[in-house]
Amino acid sequence: MQDGLLITCPEHDDATTYLTYFSKEIINEATKKSIKTKKIGDKNLNLKDFSSLLNELGYRLVVLNGHGSSDCIFGYKQDIIIQLGKNDHLLKEKLVYARSCNAGEELGQECVKNTKEGCFIGYTLPFIFYMDSRWTTKPSNDKIAKLFLVPSNSVPISIIKGHTTIEAHNKSKQEMLKTMNKLMEDNWQEEETPFYLEALWNNYSGQVIFGNMEARL
Average pLDDT over residues 144-149: 97
Confirm whether 173 is domain-assigned.
yes
Would you say residue 137 lies in a domain? yes
Whole-number Å distance between alpha carbons of 120 and 122:
6
217 lies in some domain: no
Residues 44-90: tens digit of each pLDDT:
999 999 999 999 999 999 999 999 999 999 999 999 999 999 999 99
Give the tens place of pLDDT for each residue, 154-174.
Answer: 999 999 999 999 999 999 999
38 forms beta bridges with 6
Residue 44 lies in a domain: yes
Q: What is the CATH number of the domain that holds 72?
A: 3.40.50.1460
Amino acid letter for position 156: P
**All residues at 6 or more sequence positions from 88 whose CB lies less than 8 Å from its CB, including other chains:** 82, 107, 110, 111
Q: Distance of CA 25 to CAs 29, 119, 169, Å?
A: 6, 22, 17
**Neighbour-count burial for 19-36, b at 16+ CB within 10 Å, e otherwise:** bbbbbeebbebbeeeebe
DSSP 150: H
Number of structural domains the chain divides into: 1
Q: Is 216 within the bounds of a domain? A: no
